[in-house]
């Protein structure tokens, strides 16, 4: 059995990676699949918990959870059981046109676990991008305004509304104009690389205050802004944790001008950062929250959960075909049950501390680790060329990712030169430790190599 330590070591790399079988699949995919964002030559045969086996029999430790999706491990038995039970009854019946209990139950549960004790409503989508699209529409519809504020470094999805807020990499935007018009993007509170060359807290959160002090005076009327869309911790942008006051200040501005605050928790949500939602660290109550990724442990579902007073007042203003799919809803309910019943948010906090400690120790050893940041089990480190210029060192981040992979650890980059660490909440401690040992040995190897180059 995969992950069974009596029979096998984890990780277990028996064949060159990618092996012959993997190579064939990768070649076929290269021929027939659209070019997307693949970064490691891994062709998966099966997975269980935090261990993934490729088609050549190599077993890897998974520190990616498929980008914060399999948060409770791959194929949790309670989730599989819920899916099987639902499949026996029915797998689809137009949830936006008809009614069924599992959808109603999930909507109720989502309104209960999101911050804010007021009546809420839920729109079910099929992905993160679609949840953001729903949030855009809810904001436009309810405020009758059509412009937005977003942030550089933000990642909100690839559809043309959500894409208008994208600010991670030029490649995500170039050749796609015009996207949805009316999005004003500002630098995020990325204190390690402040766009204003300020220092926190001396800066007095200028990156938020600039909205009122410059934008609303010189560029756009506050009365035309429908929503402020942000990630409470930027994910794809590099796991950037802003000071809590940044989000608190945005909330103040939003409230003052009747603007909706949209909290995109597609990557950070559902326990990943050590609270159910990352925005809870700031005590700010958003008007709309978007979720997707980890909600149904791998089945496609997304949701926008919002203050009921902003609901569409007429039928047909927004809808879709697959939203609220019953199998996805059953899987989501089981996932939320597991997080609660198995005390996984406590686990996230405990393991998150260990993860940060390991990375901080490495930072003190290796100059090329410039910053370690994150909350809970949502942690990353940023690679730099040197501590003086802090120039991003993406080459080194890629090298270490590749080296770790060859030793049996699956990692994923983020930002310009960061590696993220997002294992499953219930990863066994021994496997977590082993994963960090592999990562550390990749750093040590890189340090040797660099030292050799320096003295050569
Ligand atoms: C914060 C955030 N919002 C939205 C999205 C888009 O989600 P999807 O890829 O499911 O459309 C992502 C994806 O990484 C994300 O991280």
Q: What CATH fold (topology level) applies to the domain 77-341?
A: 3.40.640
Average pLDDT, the chain: 96
> Quick one: pLDDT band at residue 144, thresholds 50, 70, 90?
very high
Question: How many Cα neighbours within 13 Å face the side chain of 443?
Answer: 23
Over residues 307-359, the pLDDT tens digits come to 999 999 999 999 999 999 999 999 999 999 999 999 999 999 999 999 999 99
> Quick one: pLDDT band at residue 410, thresholds 50, 70, 90?
very high
CA of 68 to the centre of ligand 1 (A): 10
Q: Where do the structural domains in the chain lie, given as residue ranges?
A: 77-341
Mutate to test the pocket of ligand 1, among 126, 238, 293 (most ligand atoms within 8 A of CB): 293
The pTM assigned to this predicted structure is 0.97
Atom of ligand 1 nearest to the CA of 302: 10
> Quick one: pLDDT band at residue 427, thresholds 50, 70, 90?
very high
263 lines ligand 1 (CB under 6 A): no
pLDDT, mean of residues 34-57: 97
pLDDT number for residue 452: 59
Nearest one of 38, 44, 1, 48 to 21, comparing CA atoms: 44
In the chain, what percentage of residues exceed pLDDT 90? 95
pLDDT, mean of residues 123-128: 98
> Quick one: pLDDT band at residue 4, thresholds 50, 70, 90?
low
Query: Is residue 1 predicted with pLDDT exceeding 70?
Result: no
Residue identifier of the C-alpha nearest atom 7 of ligand 1? 128
304 lines ligand 1 (CB under 6 A): no
Mutate to test the pocket of ligand 1, among 36, 133, 153, 157 (most ligand atoms within 8 A of CB): 157
Query: Is residue 455 predicted with pLDDT exceeding 80?
Result: no
Mutate to test the pocket of ligand 1, among 127, 150, 155, 272 (most ligand atoms within 8 A of CB): 155
Over residues 60-110, the pLDDT tens digits come to 999 999 999 999 999 999 999 999 999 999 999 999 999 999 999 999 999
Query: Is residue 295 predicted with pLDDT exceeding 60?
Result: yes
């Amino acid at each position: 059995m995969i992950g069974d330590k009596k029979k096998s070591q984890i990780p277990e790399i028996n064949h060159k990676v990618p092996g012959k079988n993997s190579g064939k699949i990768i070649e076929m995919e290269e021929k027939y699949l659209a070019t997307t964002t693949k970064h490691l030559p891994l062709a998966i045969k099966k997975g269980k918990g935090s261990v993934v086996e490729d088609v050549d029999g190599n077993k890897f430790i998974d520190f990616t959870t498929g980008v914060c999706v399999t948060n409770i491990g791959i194929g949790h038995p309670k989730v599989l059981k819920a899916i099987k039970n639902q499949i026996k009854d029915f797998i689809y019946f137009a949830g936006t046109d008809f009614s069924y209990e599992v959808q109603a139950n999930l909507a109720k549960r989502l309104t209960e676990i999101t911050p804010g004790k007021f009546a809420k409503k839920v729109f079910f989508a099929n992905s993160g991008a679609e949840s953001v699209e729903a949030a855009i529409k809810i904001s436009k519809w309810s405020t009758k305004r059509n412009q937005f504020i977003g942030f550089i470094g933000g990642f909100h999805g690839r559809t043309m509304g959500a894409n208008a807020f994208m600010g991670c990499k030029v490649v995500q935007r170039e050749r796609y104009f015009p996207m949805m018009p009316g999005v004003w993007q500002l630098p995020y509170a990325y204190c390690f690389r402040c766009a204003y060359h300020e220092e926190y807290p001396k800066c007095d959160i200028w990156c938020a205050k600039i909205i009122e002090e410059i934008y609303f005076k010189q560029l756009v009327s506050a009365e035309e802004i429908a929503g402020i869309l942000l990630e409470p911790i930027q994910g794809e942008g590099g796991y950037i944790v802003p000071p809590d006051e940044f989000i608190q200040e945005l909330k103040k501005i939003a409230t003052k001008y009747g603007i909706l605050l949209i909290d995109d928790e597609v990557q950070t949500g559902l326990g990943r950062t050590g609270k159910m939602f990352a925005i809870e660290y700031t005590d700010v109550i958003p008007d709309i929250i978007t979720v997707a990724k980890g909600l149904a442990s791998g089945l496609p579902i997304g949701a926008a959960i919002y203050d009921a007073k902003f609901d569409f007042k007429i039928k047909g203003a927004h809808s879709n075909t697959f939203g609220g799919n019953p199998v996805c809803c059953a899987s989501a309910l089981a996932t939320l049950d597991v997080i609660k019943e198995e005390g996984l948010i406590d686990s996230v906090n405990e393991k998150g501390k260990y993860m940060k400690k390991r990375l901080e120790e490495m930072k003190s050893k290796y100059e090329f680790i410039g910053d370690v940041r994150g909350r809970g089990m949502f942690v990353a480190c940023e690679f730099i060329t040197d501590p003086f210029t802090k120039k991003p060192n993406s080459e080194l981040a890629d090298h270490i990712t590749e080296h770790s992979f060859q030793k049996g650890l699956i990692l994923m980059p983020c930002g310009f030169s960061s590696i993220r660490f997002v294992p499953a909440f219930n990863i066994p401690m021994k496997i977590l430790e082993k994963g960090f040992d592999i990562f550390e040995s990749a750093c040590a190897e890189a340090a040797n190599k660099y030292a050799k180059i320096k003295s050569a």
